[in-house]
Each structure stands twice: as C-alpha cells, then as structure tokens.
Chain A
Amino acid sequence: GQNIDQPTEMTATEGAIVQINCTYQTSGFNGLFWYQQHAGEAPTFLSYNVLDGLEEKGRFSSFLSRSKGYSYLLLKELQMKDSASYLCAVVRNSGYSTLTFGKGTMLLVSP
C-alpha cells in the first residue's frame, strides 16, 4: 500500500517564505512530483525529484530524501497568486509507473 501525508492547510503573508512538507511510504518508489492546482483548474507541474537533494527553479525549490521518505516544496517571495492547493505525487513503478497524489495542501497567502 501507499501512504502520502501533507498538511491540510497553511497560511503565509506576501513576500514571506513557506515550506510545504510531504512524507510518503511506498514500495517501488521512482520519483516525486509537486503540482500546483488553483481552484477549478487543472494541476500544473512545478517540480520533479528522483535523486536526493534540492532542485531549484526560480522562486520554487523542491527537496527529496529517499532514505527518510520525505520531500518539501519551498516557495520564496510569496505572491497572492501563489494561493492554491499544492499536491505531492509519488511515482510508483509496478510494471507501469503510476502517480499517486497526496491529499494536497491548501496555501492561503494574505497581504
């Protein structure tokens, strides 16, 4: 089975830094994605980690520790438009690679 945990909600202020954590337990782990989803819209890709370490992409960074089953998404210089749900998704390889999403973290950025 699989278990993916993320906080349900987080709040932060404009210009701040926020870290959204994701822990997982799964067999056949083959990478981890972070997606952003605004209300009523489709998820959009933010980052992908398959090896341990930090991946940086502009204001967003993502970290993975495979041994700890842990990842985080770091958002810097928060903007109001960053208010959205952030989904951690684990790639599991069991013949075919499939994506299983965590429940998502709703981030609310206030002025």
Chain B
Amino acid sequence: DTEVTQTPKHLVMGMTNKKSLKCEQHMGHRAMYWYKQKAKKPPELMFVYSYEKLSINESVPSRFSPECPNSSLLNLHLHALQPEDSALYLCASSRQTGDEQYFGPGTRLTVT
C-alpha cells in the first residue's frame, strides 16, 4: 500500500466555521507533512511531524491547528479562516524526514 488518502476531497466553509482535514497512510512512515498550494504555485510547507511530534511549524497562523493522533493519521483543524486561505491542502508522508515524500490527492478548500 503506497497510498496517502485525504478527506474530504472538496470543502467549502464560512469564515466562522470549524472544520477538519484528515490524512491517513499505512506505509509505516514516521514523517508526515501539511502543505498549502495556491493555483500555479509550488506547494508551501506548513507543518512537519516526525514520530508523532510537531517538528516544524513554518510560521503558520494559529487558525490552522495540526494534530497527529497516531503514526498513521494527521489532521488539520481549521477555525476562523480567511478567503485568502482558499487553496489545495496537500498531505504527504515519508519514511523519515528528508526521504521521498508520497503525496495525497489533496483537499480543495474554499473559504467564503
């Protein structure tokens, strides 16, 4: 199984809503990542988890809150987002940080 799954595929939310993005992998990878990608731009790293501990937070606003409940799951909790947060949110995993990353299909988020 070399798949990273993400749910939901699409999400539309208002600025006062609270929602969560979910990511799952069963490859035994110990590093997991959240990226944000705007149209025609490269993915931008948001968070890195290594062995279920938050290793890197790339100065992401607190309205984005990551959580790693176990080695297979990664969540991104969203609250009070702004329209400019609309983007494709990609989850990735790798055996260790620095190794080849496998990307999920992404969640297309629209904030209204």
Chain A residues engaging chain B, CB cutoff 8 angstroms = 30-31, 33, 41-45, 48, 87, 91, 93, 96-104
Contact = CB atoms under 8 A, between A and B. Distances in A.
* Range, interface on chain B: 20 to 34
10 shortest interchain CB distances as A-B pairs: A97-B98, A101-B42, A42-B103, A97-B97, A96-B55, A96-B97, A43-B103, A42-B105, A45-B100, A91-B98
B41 to A, nearest CB: 7
Interface stretch (B43-51, B59-67, B75-83): B43-51
Interface of B: 41-45, 48, 50, 55-56, 90, 96-106
Contacts of B103: 42-44
Given A31-B98, A41-B105, A44-B103, A96 B48 contact: yes
Contact of B42 (A41, A44, A103): A103
Contacts, number: 49
Contact of A45 (B42, B50, B101, B106): B101
Contacts of B104: 42
